[in-house]
């Protein structure tokens, strides 16, 4: 058998790291961050405890990687940076993509939310949470300013808060969640109302 190439090693390493993160997210959500050990994660991921430390220095670094992955998944959504798209279309697209992502990746976000609401976790991710929230508010503020909002930052904060609340409600009762109606209501509230005021 020929030796593995550098690219193959990188692929294996990336795959193993993703598996560790997925397993840790599941166990943290089910057993709590404090109630889950590195040994438990290693066993479920089918790797040695020693090898775990080649990927993550400690449990806190693993938690940081999980939290960062979730925020990056959100930030990968198109928040309207394309200057050629009208602000009304940008806002509608952002609302649609955010809620569609929630539905399309339900199991992931269910575990992720269960992790984030743990008090011990909230303390550890507070700074990172504020950092990503600032990025979201800055991007959305540009859209609301273009729509003629008198207070773009406040509108951005309110929309973000509503989306957070909607996410929790969707995860709690997905079958009773009127997804399409909510999309239209948000669009009317934050886009059409601003456009009317601007006229």
What are the sequence ranges of the domains in the chain?
Answer: 6-56, 66-198
Alpha carbon distances (Å) from 48 to 18, 115, 145: 16, 24, 53
Confidence of residue 14 (pLDDT cuts 50, 70, 90): confident
The predicted-structure confidence for 36-63, as pLDDT tens digits, reads as follows: 999 999 999 999 999 899 999 999 999 9
pLDDT at 16 over 70: yes
Residues composing the chain:
199
Q: Is 8 a residue whose pLDDT tops 90?
A: no
Rounded distance between C-alpha atoms, residue 185 and residue 176, angstroms: 16
Number of H helices, E strands in the chain: 10, 0
Q: 6-56: which CATH architecture?
A: Orthogonal Bundle (1.10)
Locate tokens 């030796």: which residue?
Answer: 3
Residue found under tokens 């609340």: 165
Region 158-177: mean pLDDT is: 93
SS3 helix, strand, coil % of the chain, rounded to 5?
80, 0, 20
Q: How far is 109 from 11, CA to CA, in rounded Å?
A: 25
Position 55 scores a pLDDT of 92
Of 3.20.19.10, 3.10.180.10, 1.10.357.10, 3.40.309.10, the CATH number of 66-198 is 1.10.357.10
For tokens 């693993």, name the residue.
62
Residue 109 has pLDDT above 90, yes or no: yes
Phi, psi of 108 (to 5 degrees): -60, -50
Tokens matching residue 28: 């943290």
Q: What is the mean pLDDT of residues 159-187?
A: 93
């Amino acid at each position: 058998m020929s030796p593995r190439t550098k690219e193959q090693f990188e692929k294996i390493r990336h795959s193993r790291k993703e598996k560790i993160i997925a397993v840790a997210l599941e166990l943290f959500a089910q057993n709590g961050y404090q109630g889950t050990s590195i040994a438990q994660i290693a066993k479920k991921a089918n790797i040695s405890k020693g090898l775990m430390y080649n990927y993550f220095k400690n449990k806190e670094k693993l938690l940081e990687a999980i939290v960062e992955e979730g925020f990056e998944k959100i930030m990968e959504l198109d928040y309207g940076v394309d200057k050629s798209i009208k602000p009304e279309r940008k806002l509608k697209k952002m609302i649609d993509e955010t809620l569609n992502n929630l539905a399309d990746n339900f199991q992931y976000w269910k575990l992720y939310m269960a992790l984030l609401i743990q008090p011990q976790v909230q303390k550890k991710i507070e700074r990172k949470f504020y950092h990503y929230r600032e990025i979201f508010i800055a991007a959305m503020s540009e859209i609301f300013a273009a729509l003629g909002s008198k207070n773009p930052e406040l509108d951005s904060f309110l929309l973000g808060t509503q989306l957070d609340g909607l996410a929790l409600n969707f995860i709690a009762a997905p079958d009773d969640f009127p997804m399409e109606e909510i999309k239209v209501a948000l669009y009317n509230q934050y886009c059409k109302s601003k456009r009317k005021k601007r006229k």
